[in-house]
Every structure is written in structure tokens, then in C-alpha cells.
């Protein structure tokens, strides 16, 4: 997902919650951190950023292990991955 797509997704997800959320604080902490990383220039990335992205890759790999050919039906599964910046239905 692009940073814009992730920002929009996190905002939509936060809008569905009962409490009012500040736009910059929408979404889970890991998703917000990914969004922050996507907004950085490559030269500004830190080792902490690299660790976060490795963690995201591990999560995506473990979640996709049983679903090599994703379909639109698994919305909870898909939404969980989208919360960290990965849309399994979007072509790579």
C-alpha cells in the first residue's frame, strides 16, 4: 500500500470506532509507525525503522502462509494485514 492508501485506510478504520480519534493518531501503533516510515526519505531511515519493517514482513509472511492465493472473502484477515500496510488482494 502507498502511504496515502494506508493513511486513508487507518482513518476509515478509526472512524468506525466509538471514540473520536485525532487523525494523526488513527490506527494501531504498528500501522502508524509503518505510515511514518513510508513518509521518510531512504536516507532518513533508522535501524528502528528497519526492525519495524522486518516485523511487518514476518507478520505478513506468517498470515499469508496458509493463503497463497488470497480471495476477497476473508475480510478480517485482509483488514488485519491492511492495518500494517499490506493489502493481500493488491497486485505486487
Residue 34 domain-assigned (yes or no) = yes
The reply to whether 13 falls in a domain is yes
CA–CA gap between residue 20 and residue 36 (Å, rounded):
21
Number of separate domains in the chain: 1
- Cβ atoms of 49 and 40 closer than 8 Å: yes
Residue 73: give the domain boundaries.
3-82
Residue 78 maps to a domain: yes
Residue 88 lies inside a defined structural domain of this protein? no
Distant-in-sequence, close-in-space partners of 30: CB < 8 Å, separation ≥ 6: 52, 55, 56, 83, 84
CB atoms closer than 10 angstroms to residue 67: 13
Q: Does residue 9 belong to any structural domain of this protein?
A: yes
pLDDT for the residue numbered 64: 80
91 inside domain: no
pLDDT digits (tens, 9 = 90+) for 35-89: 999 999 999 999 999 999 999 999 999 988 776 666 666 688 889 999 999 998 8
Answer whether residue 16 is part of any domain: yes
Amino acid at each position: 500500500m502507498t502511504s496515502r492508501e494506508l493513511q486513508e485506510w487507518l482513518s476509515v478504520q478509526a472512524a468506525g470506532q466509538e471514540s473520536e480519534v485525532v487523525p494523526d493518531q488513527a490506527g494501531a501503533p504498528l500501522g502508524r509507525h509503518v505510515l511514518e516510515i513510508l513518509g521518510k526519505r531512504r536516507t532518513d531511515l533508522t535501524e528502528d525503522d528497519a526492525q519495524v519493517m522486518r516485523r511487518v514482513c514476518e507478520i505478513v509472511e506468517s498470515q499469508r502462509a496458509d493463503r497463497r492465493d488470497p480471495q476477497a472473502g476473508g475480510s478480517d484477515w485482509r483488514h488485519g494485514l491492511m492495518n500494517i500496510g499490506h493489502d493481500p488482494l493488491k497486485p505486487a
